[in-house]
Amino acid sequence: MPIPEPRRLTSVVLAALGGLATDAAFPGLGWWPLALVGVALLFLALGRDSARWNTLVGTVYGLCFFLPHILWAEYAVGAVPWVALSVLEAGFVGLLGAGWSWARRGAAIWWRARWQVPAFAVLWVGMEELRSVWPFGGFPWGRLAFSQADSPLARWAWAGGVPLLSLLVVGGGVLVALAVLALRRLDLGAASGALLLVAVVVGSGLLVPLDTRDEVGRLAVGAVQGNVPNRGLDSFSQQREVLENHVAGTYALAQQEGAGALDVVLWPENGSDIDPRVDADAAELVTGAARAVGAPVLVGTLEYPADGGRYNVTLLWDPETGPGPVYAKQRPAPFAEYIPFRDVARRFSDAVDRVRTDMLPGTEPAVLDVPVERLGRDVRLGVGICFEVAYDRIIRESVQRGAELLVIPTNNATFGLTDESTQQLAMSRIRAIEHGRATVQISTVGVSALITPNGRVLDETELFTAATLTDDLALRTTLTPATRYGDVLTWTLRVLAVVVVASGAAGAMRTRREHGRTPDRPARPAARRASAARSGAR
């Protein structure tokens, strides 16, 4: 069943509305069903056969999604970087439009609506995977899966991670579009069947088993959101003030819970940008706080190696012995934590000079071992610093290496009162489900939260307030299917995306060569047969 060709203006309007609807599915509005609506609108907008036109249509959708979705980038670094990043990411959706133009020319996809559902979904996931790894390590923000933290579909992350969840959302969206097309033909049977399938797909998540029980004990966790002055990038200049805020929060935990009641205290990224390993005053402050609470403290700080650069690290600080294991962030954010092509970038925005020292990537796995006297053993934590929560491999590898609980230390101070922090919280919730691990997102300014292994938020903080969180969180060792086989599924979908486009293009070329026509433009002698086939497909 060929997709009816919309008028050019109609296709652009549909794409724009689709991008806006998709953004509304994410926090802050969080109307998750609109992700399916947004995909449906894009699918309908891509009804014309021209690859060049569909590239434009996809780009329009991408701009209308990314510009509002990452508006926090404008707050943090200015209009030019925000627009540039939005245009770059929108280009990937434009590439999806071109790819779909080629893929749908294959006879199987062209004539059979049922094949359009998985084909378009596979292409979408392929597009998300590409922009998640390239350029400069990729930018996985805004993947459709991250809009579904409150949806029954979210539970499918347990089975196949973010790629499978995005695949199901897109499949549901295409079914919505096919229902709309059926209604246009007054085919109520086909329309109701497609919508019933959407309900089945969404509701199927309720059948996915999610175990939240502790398997190897529970960890008494305290988390400190010390707060930072709301001064945008100038927040980084208040290092001593920020450190003292987190020290004060730790003393508050000691008074509230009593010394020795907690197994570990978690500080956020940049909780102390003064490295206590090299600054005696900072070391005294951190040690005093750790001794008061009677537990090791996970400190977010910066490390400056002698040969230049800097590392963004999470450091375990023991109340008696001081500095211990360290994890260094593997994926520094380009143009925010380091500046590629600095001389070129400066021509577009002088904000690049705010980053005086480029951040270096860490090389060790994202795990830290915390000695827990009450349990008589070390507890392994998986750590993803800030944006690393969006990267599949980093979090998956930490759990494969034995992480029993996930910690996402982050610093959202530079993003003000935007939706960046709640978008990140949605990602942390999806990761909790994906790997079956209790998760703590701890921010300098919020939103911080304690999350159960099934993605439920136990407690969370407000933005730009000093706060503490405590609870006994389940420790788990069972590996979910997504943890075990996520890499296999990811690569399978990547390969399938290439195969779908290549087979469609090859099929169209073969048909043109053999019969002098493409599936969408039959030659005159075959016109009657093609018309009959269309009628039958409908």
Domain spans of the chain?
8-209+494-537, 218-477
Q: Is the distance from CB of 33 to CB of 25 less than 8 angstroms?
A: yes
**What's the distance, CA 82 to chain centroid?**
18
The single-letter code of the amino acid at 55 is T
* pLDDT score recorded for residue 112: 77
* pLDDT score recorded for residue 150: 98
* pLDDT score recorded for residue 509: 67
* pLDDT score recorded for residue 527: 38
Distance, in Å, from the CA atom of 132 to the CA atom of 480, rounded to the nearest integer, reads: 22
Tokens of 472: 């006994």
* pLDDT score recorded for residue 392: 98
**What's the distance, CA 29 to chain centroid?**
17
* pLDDT score recorded for residue 465: 95
* pLDDT score recorded for residue 356: 82
Half-sphere exposure of 57 (CA within 13 A, CB side): 33
Please give the chain's pLDDT, 538 residues, in tens: 566 789 999 999 999 999 999 999 999 999 999 999 999 999 999 999 899 999 999 999 999 999 999 999 999 888 988 999 999 999 999 999 999 999 988 777 777 778 999 999 999 999 999 999 999 999 999 999 999 999 999 999 999 999 999 999 999 999 999 999 999 999 999 999 999 999 999 999 999 999 999 999 999 999 999 998 765 545 455 888 999 999 999 999 999 999 999 999 999 999 999 999 999 999 999 999 999 999 999 999 999 999 999 999 999 999 999 999 999 999 999 888 888 877 777 777 766 777 789 999 999 999 999 999 999 999 999 999 999 999 999 999 999 999 999 999 999 999 999 999 999 999 999 999 999 999 999 999 999 999 999 999 999 999 999 999 999 999 999 999 999 999 999 999 999 999 999 988 786 666 556 555 545 444 433 333 334 343 334 4
Active site residues: 269, 329, 386
Q: Is the distance from CB of 415 to CB of 76 less than 8 angstroms?
A: yes
Q: What are phi and psi of 4, to 5 degrees?
A: -55, 140
Distance, in Å, from the CA atom of 141 to the CA atom of 423, rounded to the nearest integer, reads: 9
Residue with tokens 């230049």: 308
Residue 4 DSSP class: P
Q: Is the distance from CB of 162 to CB of 170 less than 8 angstroms?
A: no
* pLDDT score recorded for residue 537: 40
Those residues with Cβ within 8 angstroms of residue 534's Cβ, 6 or more apart along the chain or in another chain: 1, 2
CA nearest neighbour of 15 among 39, 34, 36: 39
Top-tier CATH class for 218-477: alpha beta
Half-sphere exposure of 485 (CA within 13 A, CB side): 10
* Continuous H helices in 104-238: 107-111, 113-133, 157-184, 188-203
Q: Is the distance from CB of 145 to CB of 169 less than 8 angstroms?
A: yes
